[in-house]
């Protein structure tokens, strides 16, 4: 490295950056100090905790998968077509990302709730009820998580030179073949990043879930809900639940990072 | 085989209107300043851009004719298009890049790879088969891009400034390589270039486009001897 590219960091910048690091580090230190390590195993294998953990993993993974199935096509449409109203759609997607989750829960309740605008037909015609069901948890999670995937993948599609797709077309590829063998592999890092972001957001979902799906043990009580509930009565359990979520999230992010995120040039075929 | 075309494309500030004719085994070079419409003409021939006026007729088959509402999309045209910056698919090996066309056109994965493998061998590129595009030099990338375009035996080969991104020495060397790669049974070829040496070494005929119109046609020798415009005179004014 030559001297021109290696700047000396101003002292004040170092101090402020250091404070930022501490701000992220200290809460975790505080948690780790207070975790009841001697009861850790017992609490972890407590059936309430296990149920909440299992429910959270199932719902957030399903939410991330559905977000990918619907979100990748939407990202493509936003990035590559001249569909009228694209900016309105993008604003709508962004809105549900920045909206307070509890408001998300309220709008879901008044649209897909049992007396909601569409919910009553879901119930009358199809017998589907979302509030107070696990499906409702997944719907709430998708609502808040999909925007992360859509915006991440859309930005990657935008950065992909459309001439790669032109090249594929001149080589005889159909639009679907081009999508599957050229466009999607080219943005695979963004797909992985978007999937992890959506999954993490779904895992942490609280406000929309409790508002729309309620707080039923084993059905809609996910890890964040269980943690909040435990905080009032059994702080030790809340600490263990938090620790489990930290470990799970951290493991996934590290795993994805090694495999995908930092290796945009690496082959996967 | 013959390509006859009149390419009429309306731009916001300029209209492209050129007529071209190429026969199998011959290479036509299109030259002209930046923004003259050279690359647009290639995109229209490849089917990446629909004509506003004119026609593309290949061996009696109409590829594009706005008057008859006929437009054959790129993937149905048997063309090979090679870009200046190669545009190899980074996530595939060289072999899979070359196998892409046959696979897209319905060959099984193993058949396509076999075709690609044979072709790479013919071009003395077999040693690169397992490499990734990022590991190749500029000249190697360009030859792989050419192999990818040629493996499906296109009727029409379109080369969009294929040597422009290479350094002068590699470029000189690559002209020989490309001539060799194209072989004797070469398809109808259209070469867009800025470099009169490309035209001299690779093309049988040249057309020069300025501001969307053809200003001169002839052999490279004709143009050098009797340039019709100051631009052409300057272009060929080299010892």
Ramachandran angles phi, psi of A267, nearest 5°:
-85, 150
Query: Is pLDDT above 90 for B178?
Result: no
A90, two tokens: 């993008």
Contact A172 B134 (CB under 8 A): no
**B11 C-beta neighbours (distance < 10 Å), count:** 12
Calculate the alpha carbon distances from A120 to A106, A126, B217 in Å: 16, 10, 73
Instruction: Calculate the average pLDDT of chain A.
Output: 88
Angstrom distance (rounded) from CA A253 to CA A257 = 6
Distance to chain A for B49, nearest Cα, Å: 10
Segment A35-52 shows an average pLDDT of: 87
With beta carbons less than 8 A apart as the criterion, state whether B59 and B24 touch. Answer: no
Give residue A260's pLDDT: 57
* Contact yes or no for A172 and B75 at CB 8 A: yes
For residue range A59-104, list pLDDT tens digits in order.
999 999 999 999 999 999 999 888 888 999 999 999 988 899 999 9
Closest by alpha carbon to B63, among B158, B149, B151?
Answer: B158
Residues of A with Cβ-Cβ distance to B73 under 8 angstroms: 169
Sign of the CA dihedral running A57, A60, A66, A68: negative
What is residue A253's predicted lDDT score, i.e. its pLDDT? Answer: 78
CA B225 to chain CA mean position, Å:
26
pLDDT at A167 over 70: yes
Q: Report in angstroms the alpha-carbon separations of A158 from A154, A167, A189.
A: 6, 17, 14
Q: What is the end-to-end Cα distance of chain A in Å, rounded? A: 33
Supply A10's token pair.
């101003």
Distance CA A262, CA B199 (A): 44
Residue B148 to residue A171, Cβ atoms within 8 A: yes
Q: Which of B232, B235, B207 is nearest to B6 (CA)?
A: B207
Q: What is the pLDDT of residue A5?
A: 60
Arithmetic mean of pLDDT, A14-30: 94
Rounded Cα distance, B135 and B142, in Å: 13
Give the residue-averaged pLDDT of B200-214: 92
Q: Is the pLDDT of residue A47 over 90?
A: no
Distance between CA atoms of A256 and A180, rounded to whole angstroms?
Answer: 21
The full DSSP string for B108-168 is -HHHHHHHHHHHHHHTT-GGGTT--GGGS-HHHHHHHHHHHHHTT--SEEEEESTTTTS-H
Phi, psi for B71 (deg, rounded to 5): -145, 115
| Alpha carbon of B160: minimum distance to chain A alpha carbons (Å) | 12
Burial of A252 (0-12, 13-18, 19+ CB in 10 A): middle
pTM across the whole model: 0.83
Checking if the pLDDT of A1 tops 60, the result is no
Sign, CA torsion A248/A251/A256/A257: positive
Q: Hey, which residues 77-116 in chain A have their CB within 8 Å of chain B?
A: none
The mean pLDDT of B103-131, rounded to a whole number, is 93
- Measure the N-to-C terminal CA separation of chain B; round to a whole number of Å: 36
- Sign, CA dihedral B128-B133-B139-B145, equals positive
Helix, strand or coil, per DSSP, at residue A201 = helix
Nearest C-alpha in B relative to A171: B101
Each residue's pLDDT tens digit, A104-143: 999 999 999 888 888 888 877 888 888 889 999 999 999 9
Rounded to an integer, what distance in angstroms lies between the CA atom of residue B116 and that of residue A163? 22
Chain A stretch 177-196, residues whose beta carbon is closer than 8 A to a beta carbon of chain B: 177, 181-182, 185-186, 188
């Amino acid at each position: 490295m030559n001297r021109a590219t290696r700047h000396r960091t101003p002292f004040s910048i170092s101090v402020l950056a250091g404070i930022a690091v501490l701000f992220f580090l200290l809460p975790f230190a505080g948690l780790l100090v207070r975790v009841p390590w001697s009861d850790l195993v017992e609490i972890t294998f407590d059936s309430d905790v296990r149920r909440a953990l299992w429910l959270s993993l199932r719902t957030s993974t399903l939410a991330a998968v559905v977000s990918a199935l619907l979100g990748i096509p939407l990202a493509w449409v936003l990035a590559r077509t001249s569909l009228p109203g694209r900016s309105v759609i993008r604003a709508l997607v962004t809105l549900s990302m920045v909206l307070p989750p509890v408001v998300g829960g309220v709008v879901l309740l008044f649209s897909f709730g049992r007396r909601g605008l569409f919910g009553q037909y879901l119930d009358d015609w199809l017998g589907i009820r979302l509030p107070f069901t696990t499906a409702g948890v997944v719907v709430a999670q998708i609502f808040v998580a999909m925007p992360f995937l859509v915006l991440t993948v859309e930005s990657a599609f935008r950065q992909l030179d459309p001439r790669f797709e032109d090249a594929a077309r001149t080589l005889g590829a159909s639009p679907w073949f081009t999508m599957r063998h050229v466009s999607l592999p080219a943005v695979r890092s963004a797909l992985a990043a978007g999937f992890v972001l959506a999954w993490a957001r779904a895992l942490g979902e609280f406000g929309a879930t409790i508002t729309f799906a309620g707080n039923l043990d084993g059905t809609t009580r996910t890890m964040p809900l269980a943690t909040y509930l435990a905080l009032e009565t059994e702080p030790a359990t809340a600490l263990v639940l938090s620790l489990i979520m930290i470990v799970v999230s951290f493991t996934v992010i590290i795993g994805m990072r090694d495999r995908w995120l930092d290796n945009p040039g690496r082959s996967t075929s | 085989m013959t390509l006859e075309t009149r390419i009429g494309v309306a731009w916001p500030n300029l209209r492209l209107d050129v007529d071209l004719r190429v026969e199998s085994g011959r290479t036509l070079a299109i030259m002209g300043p930046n923004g003259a419409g050279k690359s647009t003409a290639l995109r229209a021939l490849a089917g990446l851009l629909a004509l506003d006026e004119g026609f593309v007729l290949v061996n009696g088959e109409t590829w594009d004719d706005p008057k008859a509402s006929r437009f054959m999309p790129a993937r149905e045209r048997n063309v090979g298009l090679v870009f200046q910056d190669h545009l190899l698919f980074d996530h595939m090996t060289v072999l899979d890049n070359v196998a892409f066309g046959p696979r897209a056109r319905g060959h099984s994965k193993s058949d396509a790879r076999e075709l690609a493998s044979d072709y790479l061998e013919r071009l003395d590129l077999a040693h690169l088969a397992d490499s990734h595009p990022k590991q190749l030099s500029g000249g190697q990338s360009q030859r792989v891009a050419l192999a990818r375009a040629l493996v499906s035996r296109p009727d029409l080969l379109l080369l969009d400034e294929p040597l422009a991104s290479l350094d002068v020495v590699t470029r000189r060397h690559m002209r020989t390589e490309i001539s060799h790669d194209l072989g004797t049974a070469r398809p109808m070829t259209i070469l867009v270039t800025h470099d009169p040496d490309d035209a001299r070494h690779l093309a049988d005929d040249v057309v020069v486009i300025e501001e969307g119109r053809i200003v001169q046609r002839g052999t490279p020798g004709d143009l050098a001897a009797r340039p019709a415009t100051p631009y052409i005179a300057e272009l060929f004014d080299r010892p």
